[in-house]
Each structure stands twice: as structure tokens, then as C-alpha cells.
Amino acid sequence: MAIELENEAAQSTSALGPLVGLTREDIFGAVAVLLRETASNPARLMRHSQAMGSDMLKIMTGQSDLAPDAKDKRFRDPAWQYNPFMRAGAQYYLAVQKGMANWIDELELDALEKDRARFISTIIIDALAPTNTLAGNPAAQKRVIDSGGMSIIKGLKNAYTDLTKNKGMVSQVDKTPFELGKNIAISKGSVVLRTEMMELVQYAPTTDEVYEIPQLTIPPQINKMYINDLSPDKSVVKWQVDNGIQTFVISWRNPTKEQGHWDMADYVRSCREAMEAVADITGAKKVNVSAGCSGGQTATMLASKMAADKDDLLGTLTLMVCVLHPKQDDIEAGSLISENGLQLARQRAAKQGIISGDSLSRSFAWMRPNDLIWNYVINNYLMGDDPPAFDVLFWNADATNLSASLMGDFLTVFETLAFTKKGEVEMADHKIDLSKITADLFILGGVTDHITPWKATYRSTQLFGSKDVTYVLSQSGHMQAILNPPGNPKAKYFVQEKKGRLPTTADKWLEGATEVAGSWWPFWMEWLQERAGKKTKAPAKLGNAKHKPLDPAPGLYVLEQC
């Protein structure tokens, strides 16, 4: 079960998006619409009640053919099939699930309201699953017998620990085996610049020669930078330095309430300051930039600002699992987001100064409760097992705060579709216009990414003024799409070999795309090396006279907790 938890949770790592603007009023409003429609048509309610009553009668008399989906792992235990009481319990649950779905289908709601109703009802129904309780979980009952009752004691201990040390949220990861700089984030390097907002980490070369144009990575503001250097076998940093790329990564400071005024303009200025330091240390006239998720939005804003200023320091731009042209139906919870909710979210964040990392993680988990809550309730409390010790989940649980001003700017970008406009939206001291960006682009999406769906990431290919745009579709979802190093026999990616302007839609692109076995990392590295200039002798030391080495990688800011 631990492997399943790792895989599922790794597909659901926290990410910044319009969900930061989701408020309880949006959720309560969706529930209110359901109640209003229920009361408005008693005849319809009576009809569905009769249908459900008929299902219940069949279950009681053993004539029901309701059965769980073969892919629903909650009901895989043989007891659900062979024990008549358990089978009936599952069928009662499935009857409620079926009745709710049929009822919502008949409600006289517009498409958006119906999507909201489905999303809320799914959360409610998932919470009612019998497998979430000891009495309704045969696997947990067997564990009690097999362990002589010790699983109950361990489950209660786990629950008490979460209540007292994890703010009541069920733990997704066992953090005890991990220590930054010891067995996670261990690539050699040094902080070569520290400001109030960020640290710039330079990593030591591992080759005799390096490419003259360096690479700067801009991480998301709500996740810590060491996702780029989790372990030697899946470290983007190690892959870059082992292939001769001079590698630098920004490490954002965890903002406190007093720093809640940091906005997009401040972060863009910090990125530009980092680029100048990278150029000064390496002597390069260009700096290639890569970024993922909300870091990609920041990098895009930086590129737009530099284009407006006619600043030519930017080389290439790599955007990973990043949405620049969002649509409300891109994500499952998108239907819940309202204009009023976004405004309320802004006001509350401004009053608090920040949105705490714990709050962001909690909200995100309840948007996918089966994967991020109930799975762990069963594993940790009912089965009495420890959560898995998995490096990606350790990183995901190492949450950071988000400044109120930056959150407001991200919501403005979402509301106004700022990246799709040409000079109509002003932010970071310029009018945003991606058509002025001509840098070569590499854009990555993930096939099963439900946080930044791949078709949404593909829309970015149509926004820039660049003539050279490469889009790659990795097999996995969100962070797993990025952390997909060579060596995985199941790895594959899709790319369109034909050069020139990419098709206008993701579906058209996919028709002409080729499936390639293996990791996309070598393909990206070849693309990057072709745009990294000539090879030169690797520097003997990190930093320079102006930017002297400070603390060893990954620095001090990654150690700050919420």
C-alpha cells in the first residue's frame, strides 16, 4: 500500500493556481444551490427517492447487481465480494453514489453550477465511504486480528501525533529519515548571493569543461527549491552539471507577515538581480532560464519585463508544467471559483499579510480528499501503518508561506488572462506582452497532470513571439513529469519532430507527435546544449570577488519553516 500512496500523492503535490482564491463562501454557495434546487421540485425529489428506495430493496433481498468499479481500490478486498454483509454495505454506498449522480444530472442548472454540484457531491460521497471506518473496512479488521489489536493502538498513536504535531491533518509522509544536505539536496555548491528575498545557489561543476552560457532555475514561491536536487538519481541539478551546464538556482525566503507586501514586481526584480549575478560570475552575455509551475509564471513575467525594457540578457526559456492561459474548467475545482470568492480571498490575505503554507496545504488536500486524506486515514489510523518515507512527499510537506501581495498578483493574472493580452494589463512596472518575447522556448507538460493539465500548458506555445518553440509531453503528472530521469523502463514522452510553427491546438499537435521511449531529459539537454554557447574550462572556484561563497548548498533559506 505504501507504494500506491507514494505514487498517488506524488501526482497531487501542492501547486499555486486559482485555488488560492477559493473561499468557503464558494463552497457553501455550491451547497446552497443544491439545497435550493432540491426544494424547488418536490416531485423530482420524490421520484429519485423512490428510485433509491427500489435499489435499497434489491440490496436487502439480495437481488442487487450493483458492484464497485474494478479500478476502485477501496473495494479490492475479497470480503466485499464474498461476505454478504460487506457486499450489502458496499452496495448501499454505491446506491447512494448512483442516486446522487442521477439526481444532479436532472437538476435544472447551468453547466457551471452543475459542475460545482458534482464536485461538492463527490467530496461528500467520498467522505461517506464505508472503507473510511474500522467497521466498514475488512482489511483493517483483519489487521486488528493479525496484530493482536496492536494496529488499533498504533493507529490511535498516529492520530494523536497528527492532532498535536500536525495541526490535526493526517500525515502524508514520514519525515524522520530525511535531513537536508545529508541525504536529500546533497549536490555540492554554495550560496553566492543573499538578499532579503532570496539566496542564489551556484552548484559545483563535475566536468572539466562547461558551456559558456549558464542556466538559472526560478522555483515556485510556495515550494522550496530543493525539488531540483532531491536525490542523486533524480536530481535535475546533477543532470545539468554532469552535462557541462553551469547551474544556478534561486532559493526564495519564506515570507513572514511583515513581508506580506512582497509582490510580483519585487520577485521579478529579484530574478533580474540573480541573472546579473550569474552573468557576472560566469562572464556570460546571456543567461538561460528554466522554471516550473508558478515559478514559470514569474519567469514569464520577467521575460516580458525584459523584452519591454529591451534587455537582452535572457537566452532561452524553459517552462515546465506551467499554465499561462488558464480556463475555469482546466481543473476539477475550477467551477467553484467565483469573482466574489477571489475578492474575499484577497481581502483576507491582505488582513493576515500572508497565506500560511499549512493553510495552502490543507485547502489543497481537501480538493482531492481520496488521494490526500482518506488514503492516509486508512493507512495511518485504521491499518496502523506509518506513512511512507518518500522524498517527493517530504519536499511537498515542507510548505512555505505566500505573501498576500503576490497572491493578489497571481489572482489578477488569472482573472484578466494577462499573459494572453498584448499590452492591456500592467504589472511589475510594465505592460505585459508575450508577443515581444523572442527567446527560444522549451515547454513541458504531463499526460496525467490534473494540477496544470497538459492541454492548458500547450496553450502557452501560441502566446510568444518566439519562432523556435518546442513542446514535450512527459508521461506522468505534475512533479513526476519533471522528475523523470533516465533509467525508468516505463518512461516515455511525446514530441513533434517537424520544425516550424506548432499547431494551434493540443489535439492537432498530438496527431503529429511521435512517441519516444525513455526520459525526456536527454532530449532537453541536447536542446539546451545547442543553445549554451561554446565549451570553456570549468571554473576552479565558485563565485568571484564580488559574489563570494557564503554557506554551502542548499543554503539557509530552505531551512526556514512556516
**Catalytic site residues?**
293
Give dist(CA 221, CA 267) in Å, integer.
9
- Residue 489 main-chain phi, psi, to 5 deg: -65, -20
Q: Vertex 169, ends 482 and 29: CA angle to 5°?
A: 90
Quick one: which H or E segment has residue 474?
Answer: strand 469-474
The three three-digit cell numbers of residue 255, written as one number:
515570507
Give dist(CA 70, CA 79) in Å, integer.
15
Give dist(CA 376, CA 383) in Å, integer.
10
Quick one: DSSP state of residue 285? Answer: S
- Residue 5 main-chain phi, psi, to 5 deg: -60, -45
- Tell me if the bond preceding 554 is cis, omega within 30° of 0: yes
Query: What would the 3-class secondary structure string for 19-87 be?
Result: HHHCCHHHHHHHHHHHHHHHHHCHHHHHHHHHHHHHHHHHHHCCCCCCCCCCCCHHHCCCHHHHCHHHH
Closest Cα to residue 291, out of 315, 321, 268, 251? 321
User: SS3 for 507?
Assistant: helix
Give dist(CA 404, CA 257) in Å, integer.
9
The amino acid at residue 371 is D
Closest Cα to residue 115, out of 418, 327, 360? 327
The three three-digit cell numbers of residue 547, written as one number:
559574489
Give dist(CA 262, CA 403) in Å, integer.
6
Quick one: which H or E segment has residue 469?
Answer: strand 469-474
